[in-house]
A and B are shown apart, each in its own frame.
Chain A
Amino acid sequence: MLGLERRSDVPAWIYVAVPVIAVLLALAVGAVFLVFTGHDPLTVYRVMIQASFASTFGFADTLVSATPLILTGLAALVSFRVKLWNIGAEGQLYIGAVCASGIALLIGESLPGWANILMMLAAGAFGGMLFILIPAIARAWLRTNEIITTLLLNSVALLFINWLIFGSRSFWRDPAAGQFPQGLRIPDEAYFPRWGATRVHLGLVIALLAVVAIWFVLNRTRFGFRMKILGDSESAARYAGVPVRLMVVAVLLLSGALAGLAGAADVGGFSRRLDPNSLAIGMGYAGIIVAALSRLNPGSVILVAIMLGGVRNAGTALQSLPERVPMEIAVMLEGAILLFALGSEVLVRYRIHWPWSKGPALDASPEEAEAT
């Protein structure tokens, strides 16, 4: 077995090595499955890189894919920081989208566009908060496991948006749509402005502002300081007079609000209607990857989200290959990157004693240590 020894200081190269190793190993695993299914991994990867990073428009689409990931990444980040596990960003994003599209349709053309957009963002954040409220209160007062409650609510939210668009004649559904039900378009004024001819939209600016805001809250406010104490030790926080229950609720609501904003950004900037097919692509779950890879550091969230956005964006480009590589290779790569990143994370915390290296490993039992 491997022996692990806790590091006292972390050499700088490791912070670069971890993500690089993770991505390379994930690509290697992906290559195995690609060869296995009769595809040429080099061609696939070249097409993916070209599609996402090598042209202006390709990179713009990467940024579009990265926009919701930044927000859901922050959502996971704030809750993980205090060792609360909001796994429900997926569902909070859907409900955020429901509220944002609802308010945009309700306002219609009665308000100027900028006011409508502001209302959409507020509604999106509100929807996300609403959807995490019960798990948050149950966690704070009853210590009900928030992992399971938030996880299960994702399925509820998915069924709900499917019902709104496919299962009923709701306010959100386009009454003119015939055989293929779809959401009603929000008014033109409420479209998020786009950057030039690209599809990059206001949502990216909001996501970046959210990064700055979260950084500020975490590092420069009393709230952030209390989060830090709570994250280190709940009993210490209690002795220090931190209102633990209120903090738990507040942090989870903040997390839900960020996920809900991602839903609003999809409605306003991308699909322009409540569209279950555009929403239910795992942006909330991907946020957990983003948070984990960024090592809960708001600034790194941007870079990680762009990298993952590139992988996702490239998945679509693969469809254009003559041999039609299934785009799910992108989802698989995402999961593999996360697995390997978790694995290589060990380098940050521990020095490794390989089984074949000299000297007894630290956690070997006495007999084993004698034997070596």
Chain B
Amino acid sequence: MNETVLAMTLAAAVAAGTPLALAAIGELITERAGILNLGVEGMMLLGAVTTFLVSLATGSPWIGMAAGALAGAGLSAAHAFLTITLRANQIVSGLALVIFGTGLSTFLGRPVEGMPLPRESRLPRMNIQLLQDLPLLGRVLFQQDVVVYGTWVIAALTAFYLFRTRPGLSLRAVGESPATADVMGLRVNTIRYVHTLVGGLLGGGAGAYLMLARVPAWSQAATTNGIGFIAIALVVFASWRPWRALLGALIFGLALRANFALQAAGVTFIPAEFLAMTPYLLTILVLIALSFSDLRRRAGAPEALGVPYAREER
């Protein structure tokens, strides 16, 4: 593999990992509040189709992206109401979001299925001066679009927020022990609502980015392709830490792109379907490996993840 192919593959992996990173960081924030939202795939799909329709109508990818993120937040609001206020089962509610989001996005996208977005409503590339001329790294990291850089900023901000600010501390307290947080005077339900919505914004944004930068046209089956589910696994993989989620997303981005790279390199004896399975199988292997020994103790799952909080029943 010569250097150009390597650079192209790595650059593509960085881009492919970006929606995954966005969705995973969003899910991470939600889970830190103790809310498990399995509906990422649904939020991404709805975000993607909304982005497509709005970008097409307005001609602006940015308005489209904002609309897509809001659509994701809208779905997560339903999850928040059901699981926080009504204390419904978080697993079932999350899956309901997947089913509802898939159905609704396909329904809304049917008239435009397979239609490509015009060039002006796609994301422009943004090369970083000076850095883009670095050998290899310049090509891989600094000739991307603005959302890629934005995702790094979001990862940094999330890490700072979680571990270096007071609201971040409150958030972690709510995820670890809502009863204690409540006694401390924190508004458990409000904090959970806010962070579930933020998770939805990022999930919808991830779908929007897929639509604007990654896939050529709207198609329900091909747009997200299970990325939302990998994002959920990635949170465990990253043991609920933003930087690790970003790194994990890049590794998965590479696995997602390895397919094309291997084909380009003339490796054809492994069927494409089996290569496409690797990110899923890899995740399962890592999860099982993480469960061995005391690694898991330090893995850092929020203690109250998935448990509804009812003040009068604690």
The interface stretch among A114-122, A158-166, A178-186, A194-202 is A158-166
List, in ascending order, chain B residues with CB within 8 A of A334's CB: 99-100, 103
- Given contact pairs A148-B233, A328-B106, A331-B106, a sample of 20 additional A-B residue pairs in the complex whose CB atoms are under 8 Å apart: A2-B86, A6-B312, A142-B291, A148-B236, A151-B229, A155-B226, A156-B281, A163-B274, A167-B271, A167-B272, A289-B96, A326-B107, A326-B110, A328-B103, A328-B110, A332-B104, A335-B96, A339-B97, A345-B88, A362-B312
List, in ascending order, chain B residues with CB within 8 A of A292's CB: 89, 92
Q: Which of B100, B102, B110, B220 has the most CB of A within 10 A?
A: B100
List, in ascending order, chain B residues with CB within 8 A of A129's CB: none
Q: Among B42, B101, B283, B310, which residue has its beta carbon within 8 angstroms of that of A4?
A: B310
> Residue on A with the closest CB to B293?
A142
Check A159–B107 contact: CB distance below 8 A: no
> Residue on B with the closest CB to A155?
B226
Pairs A–B under 8 Å by Cβ, sample size 29 = A1-B189, A2-B85, A4-B87, A5-B312, A87-B38, A142-B288, A144-B288, A147-B38, A147-B91, A148-B236, A149-B287, A152-B233, A152-B283, A153-B284, A155-B226, A167-B271, A286-B99, A289-B99, A326-B107, A331-B103, A333-B103, A334-B100, A335-B97, A335-B99, A338-B92, A339-B82, A342-B96, A343-B86, A343-B88
Q: Is A93's CB within 8 Å of the partner chain B? A: no
Report A's interface with B, CB cutoff 8 A. Answer: 1-2, 4-6, 33, 37, 85, 87, 134-135, 138, 142-145, 147-149, 151-156, 159-160, 162-163, 167-168, 282, 285-286, 288-289, 292, 326, 328-336, 338-339, 342-343, 345-346, 349-350, 362-363
Check A339–B311 contact: CB distance below 8 A: no
> Residue on A with the closest CB to B296?
A143
Q: Is B29's CB within 8 Å of the partner chain A? A: no
Distance in angstroms from A231 CB to nearest chain B CB is 14
> Residue on A with the closest CB to B98?
A285
**B100-137 CB contact bits vs A (8 Å, 1 = yes)?**
11111011101000000000000000000000000000
With contacts A4-B87, A142-B292, A332-B100 taken as known, whether A339 is within 8 angstroms of B280 at the C-beta atoms is no
Check B91–A85 contact: CB distance below 8 A: yes
List, in ascending order, chain A residues with CB within 8 A of B273's CB: 159-160, 162-163, 167
Check B296–A326 contact: CB distance below 8 A: no
**B61-92 CB contact bits vs A (8 Å, 1 = yes)?**
00000000000000000100110011111011
Check A155–B229 contact: CB distance below 8 A: yes
With contacts A6-B313, A333-B103 taken as known, whether A143 is within 8 angstroms of B91 at the C-beta atoms is no
Q: Number of B interface residues, CB 8 Å?
A: 55
Distance in angstroms from A361 CB to nearest chain B CB is 10
| The 8 A-B residue pairs with the shortest CB-CB distance in the complex, in nearest-first order | A335-B100, A331-B103, A332-B103, A335-B99, A142-B291, A163-B273, A328-B106, A326-B110
> Residue on B with the closest CB to A329?
B107
Check B99–A37 contact: CB distance below 8 A: no
Q: Is B230's CB within 8 Å of the partner chain A? A: yes
List, in ascending order, chain A residues with CB within 8 A of B96's CB: 289, 335, 338-339, 342
With contacts A4-B87, A148-B287, A155-B229 taken as known, whether A328 is within 8 angstroms of B97 at the C-beta atoms is no
Q: How far is the CA of A159 from the CA of B274 in the complex (A)?
A: 7
List, in ascending order, chain B residues with CB within 8 A of A87's CB: 38, 91, 95
Check B99–A285 contact: CB distance below 8 A: yes
Q: Is B264's CB within 8 Å of the partner chain A? A: no
Check B101–A335 contact: CB distance below 8 A: yes
Q: Which of B99, B272, B290, B292 has the most CB of A within 10 A?
A: B99
List, in ascending order, chain A residues with CB within 8 A of B220's CB: 328
User: Quick one: which of B220-237 are within 8 Å of A by CB?
Assistant: 220, 226, 229-230, 232-233, 236
Report B's interface with A, CB cutoff 8 A. Answer: 38, 42, 78, 81-82, 85-89, 91-93, 95-104, 106-108, 110, 189, 220, 226, 229-230, 232-233, 236, 271-274, 276-277, 280-281, 283-284, 287-288, 290-292, 296, 310-313
List, in ascending order, chain B residues with CB within 8 A of A33's CB: 104, 107-108
Q: How far is the CA of A363 from the CA of B178 in the complex (A)?
A: 14
> Residue on B with the closest CB to A364?
B311
Distance in angstroms from A19 CB to nearest chain B CB is 15
Q: How far is the CA of A318 from the CA of B91 in the complex (A)?
A: 31
List, in ascending order, chain A residues with CB within 8 A of B296's CB: 143
Check B277–A156 contact: CB distance below 8 A: yes
Distance in angstroms from B31 CB to nearest chain A CB is 12
Q: How far is the CA of A346 from the CA of B98 in the complex (A)?
A: 21
Q: Among A153, A155, A335, which residue has its beta carbon within 8 angstroms of that of B103?
A: A335
Distance in angstroms from A215 CB to nearest chain B CB is 22
List, in ascending order, chain A residues with CB within 8 A of B95's CB: 87, 285, 288, 338
Q: How far is the CA of A6 from the CA of B313 in the complex (A)?
A: 9
Q: Among B81, B102, B310, which residue has its beta carbon within 8 angstroms of that of A335?
A: B102
Check A151–B232 contact: CB distance below 8 A: yes
List, in ascending order, chain A residues with CB within 8 A of B312's CB: 5-6, 362-363
List, in ascending order, chain B residues with CB within 8 A of A85's CB: 91
Q: How far is the CA of A162 from the CA of B88 in the complex (A)?
A: 36
Check B284–A343 contact: CB distance below 8 A: no
Check B106–A326 contact: CB distance below 8 A: yes
List, in ascending order, chain A residues with CB within 8 A of B272's CB: 167
Q: How far is the CA of A321 from the CA of B93 in the complex (A)?
A: 32
Check A339–B93 contact: CB distance below 8 A: yes
Check B287–A339 contact: CB distance below 8 A: no
List, in ascending order, chain A residues with CB within 8 A of B229's CB: 151-152, 154-155
Check A148–B232 contact: CB distance below 8 A: yes
List, in ascending order, chain A residues with CB within 8 A of B85's CB: 1-2
> Residue on A with the closest CB to B290?
A144
Q: How far is the CA of A346 from the CA of B82 in the complex (A)?
A: 9
Check B274–A339 contact: CB distance below 8 A: no
Q: How far is the CA of A160 from the CA of B226 in the complex (A)?
A: 15
Check B291–A144 contact: CB distance below 8 A: yes
> Residue on B with the closest CB to A282?
B99
List, in ascending order, chain A residues with CB within 8 A of B311's CB: 363
List, in ascending order, chain A residues with CB within 8 A of B283's CB: 148, 152
Q: How far is the CA of A270 from the CA of B107 in the complex (A)?
A: 26
Distance in angstroms from A146 CB to nearest chain B CB is 10
Q: How far is the CA of A2 from the CA of B81 in the complex (A)?
A: 11
List, in ascending order, chain B residues with CB within 8 A of A160's CB: 273, 277
Distance in angstroms from A22 CB to nearest chain B CB is 11
